[in-house]
Structure 1
Amino acid sequence: MRILIAASGLLLFTSPAFAHDFWLQPESFKAAVDRPLAVTFQVGHGKDRQRWRVDLSRVVALAGYSDGVRKDRKADLRSGGAADLVTSFATPGLHVLAMRSSYAFSELPARRFTEFAEEEGLVRVLEWRRRSGKSDTAGRERYSRRAKALIKVGTLTPANQAIATRPVGLKLEIVPDRNPYALDKTGVLPVHVLYNGRRLANATVKLTSLEFDARPHATAVTDANGRVSFRIPQRGSWLVNVVWSVPVRGDPKVDFDTTFSSLTFGYERKR
C-alpha cells in the first residue's frame, strides 16, 4: 500500500481543469432525524471554489443509502435557491448521499490539457497521446462526475455504520475500508478505489481540507489492490477525490472518457 505524499512537495498547476473537482457539501455532516438538511454542489478550490452553477437536470441519479435501504432523492433537488438539495432522514445511523451527473464536453489547448493530465496523474492518457502523435493537439474529453457524502444522523451503532465501507455502484468510487467516523487514535483511514466495480491501480487520490482548500493536504497513488491510506486530523471537513480517464474508440469528437469522483465527510468541533 502506498501511503500519503505531502502536498507541499507537489507542483500544482493553475488551469481551468482544476475546477473539475466536485463534491457534495452539506451544511453539517451531522443531522437530526426528520430534520431538513441543506446540501450544495461545490466545484473548484481556493479562489476558484464556487457553487456548481449548471442546470440540475444534469443530475441523472441522486440517492440516499442507509442500512440495507436505497431511496431516490432526486425529488429533493432545488433550483435557484440557497441550496441545491434539501433532504431529511427518517432513521438514525450513517447515511450515504450519492450522485451521478450526465456527460459534458471539454476541449483544452495541448499545453493546458497536458498540465491537467500531469496534475491528476493520468499517465495512461499522456502515454496514449505520445504514442498517437497527439501530444501537441488539443485534449478533447467527455466527462462526468460522481460524488458521495457520509452523513451522521442521530445515534450511530456498529450495525448502522457498516454502509460506510460498502460500495454503492458508482462507475468510479472511493470506498473507505474503515468508517471515517470510527477511526482509532492514529487517524489512519485506508480507502480503495473501484472503476466499473474493479480495484483500480495507479490512480492519484487527493485528500483536501475543505477549510483550507487551496491545495491538497496529501496525495497518494493506489497500489496493485487499488488502496491508499491517509492520516486524517479528526476535525473539520474533508474531501477525498480521484480522476480516471480512458481512451474512447470510434467517436471522432472526443479522445477520452474522464470520470471525476469524490467522497466527503466531516467532524464536529471539539469543545
Structure 2
Amino acid sequence: MTRILFAALALFLTFGSNAFAHDFWLNSQVSDTGSAQVDIGYGHDFPTPEDIPSKRIHLFEAPHLLSPQGEIEIKQQGPNYHYVGQADKNLSNYMAIGSYKLTFWSKGPDGWDMKTRLQMPEANYCEHVGMYAKAIPPTGTDGDNSFFSKPTGLRMEIIPLVNPSTVKPGGKLPVQVLVDGKPAKTVLVTATFGGFSEGESKAFSGRTDLRGKIDIIPLKAGYWFAEAEYKKPYPNSKECDETYLLTTMTFQINE
C-alpha cells in the first residue's frame, strides 16, 4: 500500500551519501508566436537555473521539445543552461525532455570524482548515475491527457495520468513511475513548489505502489517539481556498487 506523508513542516531527505549534490529539472515556455525557451536547472534553488559547472556541462544531453507532431530541436544560446528554438505558433500540447548521461561517480578520501572503483581503488563507494527530466506546460487546451500519459522513451520517467493543469490545490495528481518501460515499485517520490523552502526540505513525500503509481497531493497553487529515485546493485561489484537513477517532472498547479 502506498504510504503518503505530507505536512506544513519540512521533510528533510538525506542525499549526502550519493553523488546527487544537485537537483536536475527543466523549465520550459513557448510563446504565442512559437518562440520556445528551455532552461536546464541544475542546482539547489528551484526553479531558478544557474550556470552549470564547466567540468559537468558535457554530461547533459541537449534538451528538446516533444509534441504530438514529433520532436522540435532547440539550441543552446547565451548562458550554458539556456536553449531556444522555434515551434508552431499554434502549438498547445508539448513537453520538454532532457537527460544527464550515465556517469560513474566514486567517493574516495578526497571526495567525489568521475571514476569507477577500478580507476579509484581507494574509493569506499561508487554509483553509476543517470538523471532524466520532463517539463509539462502550465496550461492545456481542453484537459486532454492522451499525449502527456504516453511514455517518452526516457530510461526513467514520471508520467502524469491526468493533465496537471486540471488539478486544483489539495486535489490528487495521479502519476506512474517507469524504469526501463516497467513500473517502478515502491520507489521514493517527493515534490515541492517554488518558494516552499530552501535546502532539501520537501512539501510531499511517498512511495509508489506495486504498479509504480502514486497520487501526488499539491497543497497549493504554484510551480511544482516532482522527483523519483531508483537504486539497484551494479552488475559488476568490482567496478561499481550501485546503479542510481533519478527522474523529475515540473508542472503548474493553477488556482
TM-score clears 0.5:
yes
- 1:200 corresponding residue in structure 2: 184
CA distance in 1, matches of 2:60, 2:80: 17
**Cα deviation digits, residues 181-223 of structure 1 (max 9, x gap):** 0125752101111011111111000011122242110100111
- Which amino acid counterpart does residue 178 of structure 1 have in structure 2? V
Residue 92 (structure 1) shift? 2.6
Tell me which residue corresponds to 1:118.
none
Structure with the higher helix share, 1 or 2 = 1
Supply the distance in 1 between the matched residues of 2:12 and 2:58 (Cα, whole angstroms): 36
1:21 to 2, 20, 23: 23
1:42–1:227 distance in 2 versus 1, CA, 3 Å: same
Q: Is the CA contact (8 Å cut-off) linking 1:208 and 1:217 kept in structure 2?
A: yes
Stretches of structure 1 lacking an aligned partner (at least 5 in a row): 114-136
CA contact (8 A) 1:92 1:156 kept: no
Residue of structure 1 equivalent to 2:67: 66
Q: Is the Cα–Cα contact under 8 Å of residues 165 and 176 in structure 1 kept in the other structure?
A: yes
Equivalent position of 2:227 in the other structure: 241
**Contact preservation (8 Å) 1:33, 1:89:** no
Checking the alignment, whether the CA contact within 8 Å between 2:172 and 2:215 is kept in structure 1 is yes
Percentage identity across paired residues of the two chains: 22
Asked whether the equivalents of residues 18 and 44 of structure 1 are also in contact (C-alpha less than 8 Å), the reply is no
Contact 2:15 2:21 in 1 (8 A): no
Distance apart, 1:235 and its partner CA: 2.0
Task: Work out the CA distance in 1 between the residues paired with 2:234 and 2:245.
Answer: 13
1:84 positional shift: 2.0
Which of 63, 84, 90 does residue 86 from structure 1 map onto? 84
Is 1:209 aligned with 2:193? yes
Residue 223 (str. 1) matches residue 209 (str. 2):
yes
When residues 192 and 257 of structure 1 are mapped into structure 2, their CA distance, relative to the original with a 3 A threshold, is same
Give yes or no for the alignment of 1:252 onto 2:238.
yes
1: distance between equivalents of 2:177 and 2:97? 15
Report if the CA contact (8 A) 1:20-1:260 is conserved: no
User: Measured at CA, do residues 9 and 42 of structure 1 come closer, stay the same or move farther in structure 2, by a change above 3 Å?
Assistant: closer
Q: How many residues align?
A: 237
TM score, norm. by length of structure 2:
0.78
C-alpha separation in 2, matches of 1:51 and 1:211: 20
Counterparts of 1:62-211 in structure 2, within 5 Å, are: 62-67=63-68, 69-73=69-73, 75-78=74-77, 81=79, 83-90=81-88, 91-108=90-107, 138-152=124-138, 156-159=141-144, 161-183=145-167, 186-211=170-195
Q: Residue 33 of structure 1 contacts residue 88 of structure 1 at CA under 8 Å; is this kept in 2?
A: no
Cα pair 2:72 2:87 within 8 Å, conserved: no
Q: CA RMSD of the aligned region, Å? A: 3.2
Distance (whole Å) between structure 2 residues aligned to residue 186 and residue 235 of structure 1 = 9
